[in-house]
Chain A
Amino acid sequence: MASSIIQRIGAATSFDTNNNYFHRRSFSGRQSSFVVVRSDGANITTRLKPNGGRTHHLVTNAVATKPHTSAASKPGHEILLFDALREGLEEEMDRDPRVCIMGEDVGHYGGSYKVTKGLAPKYGDLRVLDTPIAENAFTGMGIGAAMTGLRPIIEGMNMGFLLLAFNQISNNCGMLHYTSGGQFKIPVVIRGPGGVGRQLGAEHSQRLESYFQSIPGIQMVACSTPYNAKGLMKAAIRSDNPVILFEHVLLYNLKETIPDEEYVLNLEEAEMVRPGQHVTILTYSRMRYHVMQAAKTLVNKGYDPEVIDIRSLKPFDLHTIGNSVKKTHRVLIVEECMRTGGIGASLTAAINENFHDYLDAPIVCLSSQDVPTPYAGTLEEWTVVQPPQIVAAVEQLCQ
């Protein structure tokens, strides 16, 4: 079982049959302070002990932070999500003079969702650049600037507009590091609000994570709370890879208390929202809140769901997800993407390939309907997954 999974992973890199080349590549010349974890989700500590007594255990937060529980030493401050994003932006712009923002109405207007409010007066027009409506060209400009070492943050006023820049994102952003043999890095962050809003119409309610997920070379993350929004924003800016940060139109006014001190989250890590025993519910972005609402009903009915906000859409955090699957043996994916070719579809495939033996039931994936989002309020409600559907799905799964 576990070995077969290792085989499979090894098989994917079977060119080098002597050693798992991950190890060889990663161990060469490194300090001893790290660990290689394969995505068979095996318990880290038990795996490590045979390795010559290395006792490093995995800290799943890449940067040590204080846990955001009530045991915090400092009080923290209450903040709305768009403000948390802005805080993250400001801190990174203070820290590194190469960070700059470009997008439509990000400067003088302050951003269509106020994410960049106040930054242009502080940093100047060149660092917070108001672009004309030319997504293809200014995304290309951002990528070209990144090739020389700047760290631009490109905002799509709505994620759907970035479809116009698909060529730049796919070919130039994702592939330049590879086709140049590693000469150029593209440390851009492409961000913007997406998702189904309140009757915004079909073209302004797009979920682009499914379109971008195949592009090699990019990373995708979706934020859902002020805490992870700020942490992911900072991590994305500091990352040398191109990162697409998906925000959601309806989540900008969420309020939460976040720590005062600086923290950076891990881009590739999922968040355990609610530990449980009966079923693993994987979700991201706005659907997290629908799931938590359904979870309340489920708990009242006697179920114990484990809710994981996957956050990292590319690559998936199969370590956390795998551990959860091994515990609960049932998976429900709740996403806002379309059913066809969505994130859920890839996640289903990934879990099936890697954790098939641990599943007691087929994976259920609840996604939005494969329709353009209608304007009428009732119809729009039916396109996305609603809490009663989640409850029904869990009940069926746990029979």
Chain B
Amino acid sequence: MAFARRSFKPISTTTSFFRRRLLTTTTDDITVETSVPFTGHNCEPPSRSVSTNPKELLSFFTDMALMRRMEIAADSLYKSKLIRGFCHLYDGQEAVCVGMEAAITKKDCIITAYRDHCIFLGRGGTLLESFAELMGRQAGCSKGKGGSMHFYKKDACFFGGHGIVGAQVPLGCGLAFAQKFRKEDHVTFAMYGDGAANQGQLFEALNMAALWDLPAILVCENNHYGMGTAEWRAAKSPAYYKRGDYVPGLKVDGMDAFAVKQACKFAKEHALKNGPIILEMDTYRYHGHSMSDPGSTYRTRDEISGVRQERDPIERIRKLILAHDLATEKELKDIEKQARKEVDEAIAQAKESPMPEESELFTNVYRKGLGVESFGTDRKELRATLP
């Protein structure tokens, strides 16, 4: 795998005036170049120059540092058996969700599979809700009944959080269908991995989305391994962005938050006008597939550390910030320390949250409708209602 060389020459800057300004909140433009140009399939790729500003740069850094810290903390919580079952960590891929959030609004829908902790955070979820849900406590976003693979946030249009990969793509097309039905000006990002890219229902859904011009954007987070199977062993054509055939596609460096931002902006405009588009995010996960996978039996440690050295998304932003003199090393370290502190506090708070009540076993199985609630085949509560 050729690792993209990073290049972040600041093309033009108007921020020399803000030298050594701490945590500047100006919105003066900086233009950044993406690491590699985009590759398009059936479409004209957008330009490599992305406009941003110091505030955004610092927010990227802060957000990604928080996400990274959260995932690492989840790792140690899992090893101390506070998190059980399956835990799929997102560290290494933070740029995808942070870049995406920068390009869209909270009314655009996102749906993904089980590697959803950071996306939940990006959508506005709190650390407490995340950790509590991971530990199965009441304060969790799904009241402790969903677990790692079922994070949802309805008010921020985050639709999860699904255990069976591939199934979320038709759901995502359904979200896009509803947006078109209601004539909304919003889009849906249906995310999946390189492993799920081989699911048939994906192509079924893509066909329908293209047929009806649904505002669906299919985002393939290609971290090159479907659990233990490398992409070249699972897919005859690992060019996932080309797999849509008549549907245009774009290949993006997923470790570069600005490339992701630019691509998502481009995709949103495209989807609102012309229907579905596929984005392939070339990204990498440092952890194994899940906590039960060491992650080193199917790839070398050199590869992992190589990516971490050359393409780490947080390091890239750090270098950009330092190059533009928006903050000092120490300030950035302070931000990371602050992230660590927030995570530790959230964990402590989550640990105090109680386990769900036993009665919660039976709630939310059905939704009350027509005035009757029922539990299984032989228990019934009947409610006589309105004439």
Give me the interface of A with B, judged by CB distance under 8 Å.
9, 12-13, 15-16, 21-22, 25-26, 33-39, 56, 58-60, 62-64, 100, 126-127, 129, 131-132, 134, 136-150, 167-168, 171-172, 176-185, 187, 213, 216-217, 219, 235, 238-241, 264, 266-268, 314-319, 346-347, 350, 353-354
For B371, give the chain A residue with the smallest CB separation. A62
- CB-CB < 8 A to B383: which residues of A? 26, 34-36
CB distance from B187 to the nearest CB of A (A): 13
User: Once the chains bind, are B385 and A177 in contact (CB under 8 Å)?
Assistant: no
Whether A148 touches B178, Cβ cut-off 8 Å, given contacts A36-B381, A350-B377, is yes
A180 CA to B162 CA in the complex, in Å?
Answer: 10
Chain B residues with a Cβ closer than 8 Å to the other chain, count: 70
- CB-CB < 8 A to A140: which residues of B? 167, 169-171, 173-174, 201, 205
Which of B145, B161, B175, B369 contacts A240, CB < 8 Å? B369
Which of B179, B201, B370 contacts A266, CB < 8 Å? B370
Whether A134 touches B378, Cβ cut-off 8 Å, given contacts A141-B170, A144-B172, A181-B141, is no
18 contacts between A and B (CB under 8 A): A9-B379, A36-B382, A39-B378, A63-B387, A126-B180, A136-B201, A136-B204, A140-B173, A141-B171, A141-B177, A144-B178, A177-B365, A182-B364, A241-B369, A267-B370, A267-B372, A268-B382, A350-B377
User: Once the chains bind, are B141 and A240 in contact (CB under 8 Å)?
Assistant: no
Whether A16 touches B358, Cβ cut-off 8 Å, given contacts A141-B177, A177-B365, A179-B142, is yes
Which of A13, A138, A150 contacts B170, CB < 8 Å? A138
CB distance from B27 to the nearest CB of A (A): 33
User: Once the chains bind, are B359 and A141 in contact (CB under 8 Å)?
Assistant: no
- CB-CB < 8 A to B204: which residues of A? 132, 134, 136-138
CB distance from B131 to the nearest CB of A (A): 15
Whether A181 touches B145, Cβ cut-off 8 Å, given contacts A36-B382, A39-B379, A137-B170, is yes
User: Once the chains bind, are A150 and B181 in contact (CB under 8 Å)?
Assistant: yes
Binds A, one of B152-160, B252-260, B327-335: B152-160
* Residue from B109, B160, B366, B376 with most neighbouring chain A CB atoms (10 Å): B366
User: Number of contacts between A and B (CB, 8 Å)?
Assistant: 238
A129 CA to B111 CA in the complex, in Å?
Answer: 23
Whether A168 touches B167, Cβ cut-off 8 Å, given contacts A136-B201, A140-B201, A182-B364, is yes
Q: Does B207 contact A (CB under 8 A)?
A: yes
User: Once the chains bind, are B175 and A137 in contact (CB under 8 Å)?
Assistant: no
Whether A143 touches B171, Cβ cut-off 8 Å, given contacts A35-B382, A137-B204, is yes
- CB-CB < 8 A to A172: which residues of B? 162, 167, 171
User: Once the chains bind, are B381 and A141 in contact (CB under 8 Å)?
Assistant: no
CB distance from B355 to the nearest CB of A (A): 12
User: Once the chains bind, are A183 and B142 in contact (CB under 8 Å)?
Assistant: yes
A259 CA to B147 CA in the complex, in Å?
Answer: 49
Which of A126, A179, A314 contacts B146, CB < 8 Å? A179
Q: Does B208 contact A (CB under 8 A)?
A: yes
Which of B141, B164, B375, B387 contacts A64, CB < 8 Å? B387
User: Once the chains bind, are B160 and A316 in contact (CB under 8 Å)?
Assistant: no
User: Once the chains bind, are A141 and B365 in contact (CB under 8 Å)?
Assistant: no
